[in-house]
Copies of this chain bind each other. A is one copy, B any other.
Amino acid sequence: MHTILSLLIGPPLPTQRLAGERLNKIRALAAFSPDALSSIAYANQEIFLGLAVAGAAGLAYSLPIGLVIVGILAAVALSYAQTLPAYPGGGGSYAVARDNLGQGIGLLAASCLLIDYVLTAAVSLTAGVAAIASAFPALWPYRIELALTFLVLITLANLRGLRESGTLMAIPVYLFLVSYLAMLAVGLIKALLSSPGSFSATAPAATESLTTWLVLHALAAGCTALTGIEAISNGVPVFRPPEAKNAARTLVVMALLMGTLFLGSIGLTQYFAVVAGPDETILSALVRRVLGTNVLYVIVQTATLLILVVAANTSFAGFPRLASILAQDGYAPRQLSFLGDRLVFSNGMLLLAGLAGVLILAFNGDSHALIPLFAVGVFLAFTLSQAGMVVHWLRVRGPAWKLKAAINGIGALATTMTLGVVLISKFTEGAWLVVLLIPLLLLAFHTVKEHYREVARELTLHNAVPEATMPLRSPRVVLPISGVHRGVVEALRYARSISDRVTAVYVEINPGDADRIRQQWEKWGQGVPLVVVPSPYRSIVGPLLEYLDRLDAESGDGQPASILLPEFVPARWWQFLLHNQTAWLLKLALLYRRRRFGKVRAIIDIPWYLRE
């Protein structure tokens, strides 16, 4: 088991290597941008599906919608660029909202972000599989299996550690950028050499009339193009020093690339009046229109698949990091803040992979079905983060604070309006699920925090009295026996070595059996008294616990007796089935039946190893 793990994720790394696990800008772009860049795949697709139902008249709105979205993109990117130097420790929306708007709002942002990281992984993988299945329709029936396979692969890559997966991920990102930008350039040249197409000639017949509602609906879906822009602000500490500056530059480059890819593909789609059939994505149709159905087309589709698979990596950088911050603040299980063998937050990664896998299965590997859940959390988190930044500037001021506050204010306004549109137009299609989930997550955060607080209160030595360290008298020890054999004799020796008040107890199930035991005890009992407890109902645990309670009550010194359990440890797993495991049952009963047997009682295990 251990060897297989080592092979898959590499040997453990010592803690002092932690500082070295940083990324330069080229690698950081590859690690944090795939989600943002690849969003064009599903955003374009959603705009197309949203408008195509209104036929040619609907599709004519693609470019205007694209321009609005790029406007929002610019506002959000500028807004985040201001966040990075202000919050070099990372934490993104959570940290910003917490510091400026209070812990409650911070947790609200955190719950949105956690949900979105999971959805990013699920949506990216399913959209990636859709891209490659557009090129190879034979893969269409296996979309769920393919998406899950890729999920497993990137989970393993991430468990190996950030730097190595950074290298692994860089290739597809740059392959995508190069091939896609080249495709757009070719498309631009072809467009200049030809006259524009017309949707009237290509679009399917309208099945719905063109309403403002329909356009807003398509706009809301298209806003998923902005997902991922948040990732860098969460990951500032991973950049090489100067962290904030490097991160900000990477963010600007990323936003410019996003805008170019998005507007370029939307513009060309409208210019050539491209439409797609039911088993193909609109981007696939555009690429075939520009490049033809040939090896170049296959390269672009493969690059699309790869960057979308890698996009899930953004979540594997962000989710475990945010979960560990929450865990350190006491709002999530502590295990999420432990560094694994390879210096990554392995538990968070496994949790993310599990949740994304469930989503892929539950939504049949269809990204179009997942999209309505997606944008609510994204834009709520954006809004909270930028509103927090406005408060930040009002508080700390500093050079040009009014301008900075205005930029963040515009960002907040833009994302609030988008959030409203998304919430209304997608509510019945699945957004309600997220609206329900967020308060549940907040409740969980609160409950966890309360539990840790209570434990700390119980354990504190702050106002402990000096008597807390007074010596105890050596405890009474009770040794339950099932017979007289070597294991019992050994256990008895141990019991006598820690106490001079030892009692052996035999629970008699078959009336009369005790006589034989008493006889043998004469010889092997080392002078320790033997008590026989009858059990008319053939239970061992019940009568024994009752005896212990009786003994404690009689002794009257308030110090419960310790119990010593000789326990068989079989050499092979199947031998467990051949032994009664009474010791385990007793231990469980002693530990967990405390409503009836509430004493804090030491349980001493004396293992007896059976030979192989």
* Chain A interfacial positions (CB closer than 8 Å to B): 12-16, 333-335, 338-341, 448, 451-452, 454-455, 458-461, 464, 468-475, 484-487, 489-490, 492-494, 496-499, 509-511, 520, 524, 526, 536-539, 567-569, 575, 577-580, 587, 590-592, 594, 598, 600-611
Contact A594 B569 (CB under 8 A): yes
- Within the assembled complex, what's the spacing in Å between the Cα atoms of A460 and B484? 9
Chain B residues near A568 (CB-CB < 8 A):
455
- Within the assembled complex, what's the spacing in Å between the Cα atoms of A212 and B410? 95
Cβ of A108 to closest chain B Cβ, rounded Å:
22
Chain B residues near A598 (CB-CB < 8 A):
609
Contact B15 A538 (CB under 8 A): yes
- Within the assembled complex, what's the spacing in Å between the Cα atoms of A352 and B603? 36
Pick from B14, B484, B489: contact of A537, CB under 8 Å: B14
- Within the assembled complex, what's the spacing in Å between the Cα atoms of A606 and B538? 29
Contact B509 A15 (CB under 8 A): yes
Chain B residues near A494 (CB-CB < 8 A):
472, 475, 602
Contact B15 A536 (CB under 8 A): yes
Cβ of A532 to closest chain B Cβ, rounded Å:
15
Give me 9 A-to-B residue pairs in the complex whose CB atoms sit less than 8 angstroms apart, sorted by A's number.
A334-B579, A339-B538, A458-B611, A464-B486, A473-B497, A475-B498, A569-B591, A603-B604, A603-B607
Contact B448 A464 (CB under 8 A): no
The chain B residue sitting closest to A592, CB to CB, is B569
Chain B residues near A340 (CB-CB < 8 A):
538
Excluding A334-B580, A341-B537, A459-B487, 9 further A-B contacts by CB distance (< 8 Å) are A16-B536, A448-B578, A468-B489, A469-B493, A470-B493, A590-B607, A602-B604, A603-B604, A603-B607
Contact A602 B606 (CB under 8 A): yes
Chain B residues near A452 (CB-CB < 8 A):
578
Q: A600 with B608: in contact, given A12-B537, A496-B472 (CB under 8 Å)?
A: yes
Contact A451 B578 (CB under 8 A): yes
- Within the assembled complex, what's the spacing in Å between the Cα atoms of A605 and B584? 13
The chain B residue sitting closest to A457, CB to CB, is B611
Cβ of A32 to closest chain B Cβ, rounded Å:
26
Cβ of A84 to closest chain B Cβ, rounded Å:
27
Chain B residues near A15 (CB-CB < 8 A):
509-511, 536-538
- Within the assembled complex, what's the spacing in Å between the Cα atoms of A157 and B468? 55
Chain B residues near A579 (CB-CB < 8 A):
334
Cβ of A523 to closest chain B Cβ, rounded Å:
8
Contact B611 A454 (CB under 8 A): yes
Interface pairs A-B: 8 shortest CB-CB? A459-B485, A472-B497, A498-B498, A14-B536, A603-B605, A12-B537, A459-B486, A604-B604
Cβ of A244 to closest chain B Cβ, rounded Å:
25
Contact B578 A524 (CB under 8 A): no
Chain B residues near A600 (CB-CB < 8 A):
490, 606-609
Pick from B468, B591, B605: contact of A486, CB under 8 Å: B468
Chain B residues near A474 (CB-CB < 8 A):
497-498
Q: Quick one: which of A539, A600, A608 has the most chain B CB within 10 A? A: A600
- Within the assembled complex, what's the spacing in Å between the Cα atoms of A162 and B345? 58
Chain B residues near A526 (CB-CB < 8 A):
469
Cβ of A571 to closest chain B Cβ, rounded Å:
9
Chain B residues near A590 (CB-CB < 8 A):
607
Cβ of A175 to closest chain B Cβ, rounded Å:
36
Chain B residues near A335 (CB-CB < 8 A):
580
- Within the assembled complex, what's the spacing in Å between the Cα atoms of A189 and B472? 92
Pick from B459, B475, B520: contact of A497, CB under 8 Å: B475
The chain B residue sitting closest to A608, CB to CB, is B600
The chain B residue sitting closest to A572, CB to CB, is B451
Contact B472 A486 (CB under 8 A): no
The chain B residue sitting closest to A496, CB to CB, is B471
Cβ of A325 to closest chain B Cβ, rounded Å:
16
Q: A464 with B493: in contact, given A333-B577, A577-B333 (CB under 8 Å)?
A: no
- Within the assembled complex, what's the spacing in Å between the Cα atoms of A544 and B11? 20
Q: Quick one: which of A13, A334, A605 has the most chain B CB within 10 A? A: A605
Chain B residues near A459 (CB-CB < 8 A):
485-487, 608
Chain B residues near A473 (CB-CB < 8 A):
497
Cβ of A447 to closest chain B Cβ, rounded Å:
8
Contact B486 A578 (CB under 8 A): no
The chain B residue sitting closest to A542, CB to CB, is B12
Cβ of A530 to closest chain B Cβ, rounded Å:
15
Q: A602 with B602: in contact, given A469-B489, A497-B475 (CB under 8 Å)?
A: no
- Within the assembled complex, what's the spacing in Å between the Cα atoms of A339 and B536? 11
Contact A575 B451 (CB under 8 A): yes
The chain B residue sitting closest to A600, CB to CB, is B607
- Within the assembled complex, what's the spacing in Å between the Cα atoms of A339 and B333? 44
The chain B residue sitting closest to A340, CB to CB, is B538
- Within the assembled complex, what's the spacing in Å between the Cα atoms of A603 and B564? 10
